[in-house]
Amino acid sequence: MEKIQLNIADFTVELELDEGLMALPKNYRPFVVSSDGQQGGEPLLRMTMCREPVSVEGCEMLSSFDDLGYRQDVYKRAGGGYIFEIYGYDGTLAATMASSPCFEENRTWIAEGDALAKEFGLNNTLMIAYAFASAYHGTLMMHSSVVAKDGVGYMFLGKSGTGKSTHSSLWLRYLDGYHLMNDDNPVLRVSGSEVTVYGSPWSGKTPCYRQEKARVGALVMLEQKPYNKISRESVVVALSSLLCSCSVMIWDRSSYDCIMRTIEQVITLKGVHHLECLPDEAAARLCNETIAK
């Protein structure tokens, strides 16, 4: 086993990879802080690779859902904790993960296949473990595209297909000095009165894996419309916008309560804007002039 420590949003993640099964995917390399026993801090979570699938025998099935074309099944273990089964786009089992109740300890099996298939299994299991282990520490795993400038990040939220990546690209094309920080799964953390967004090893279809953090300037929920208009959401609507934009397990009350408290803090400190827009330069400029002051 090769022991690797990653720094993801200022948390240490310890990953034990079986070198005979797979190498560390390139999206994790900017986040490596140590390997082979050199310590980078007490880990938020540990993930260890195993050579056999985790059995769900005797477990209670909690949920089975489709996530952008692939299936995830979730089971509650009799002794506490969870088992996740991740299926590939072809419907075959790609990975399993057994986790402790608060996701500090995780055992993962990844199916044989090519490098992309193995990366799919690792990315999905490690992102799940990270999302819920970090939830207890004022952290949200967001579904968002983020642009940044001068240490300030602007987060664009919305359902898949809403145009988050498109809106980010408009900022990059028409507004000076901005760069893409993450295009799908940034990490948001609240500490005191500070709200910070971090790059992560997970960025959807766009290879943007930046070891970077920025103060959150604004969060914007996008909605496609035949006109451009921006307004500030009410507290109730903002809560809904953030809840549907971050990873949650409604059946896990302890992590869910932590996530709700963090969402409430974000709304109090930053609020959420609502941008009804076309995919054009005018929408980017209107949004920028409103939130980047």
β-strand pairing of 152-157 with 144-149: antiparallel
Q: What confidence tens digit (pLDDT) does each residue in 215-244 have?
A: 999 999 999 999 999 999 999 999 999 999
Q: What confidence tens digit (pLDDT) does each residue in 154-183 have?
A: 999 998 889 999 999 999 999 999 999 999
Q: Let me know if 69 is exposed, middle or buried by CB neighbors in 10 A (0-12, 13-18, 19+).
A: exposed
Q: What confidence tens digit (pLDDT) does each residue in 248-273 have?
A: 998 899 999 999 999 999 999 999 99
Domain that holds residue 61: 2-137
Are 83 and 146 in the same domain? no
In degrees and rounded to multiples of 5, residue 36 shows phi and psi of: 55, 45
Quote the mean pLDDT of the chain. Answer: 94
Are 146 and 272 in the same domain? yes
Considering 86, 106, 137, which residue would you say is the last residue of a domain?
137
Give the model's pLDDT for residue 122: 96
- The CB density around residue 87, as the number of other CB atoms within 10 Å, is 19
For 216-235, the DSSP string reads EEEEEEEEE-SS-EEEEPPH
β-strand pairing of 213-224 with 82-87: unpaired
| Alpha-carbon span 273 to 14, nearest angstrom | 36
Are 149 and 120 in the same domain? no
pLDDT tier for residue 45 given thresholds of 50, 70 and 90:
very high
In the chain, the number of structural domains is 2
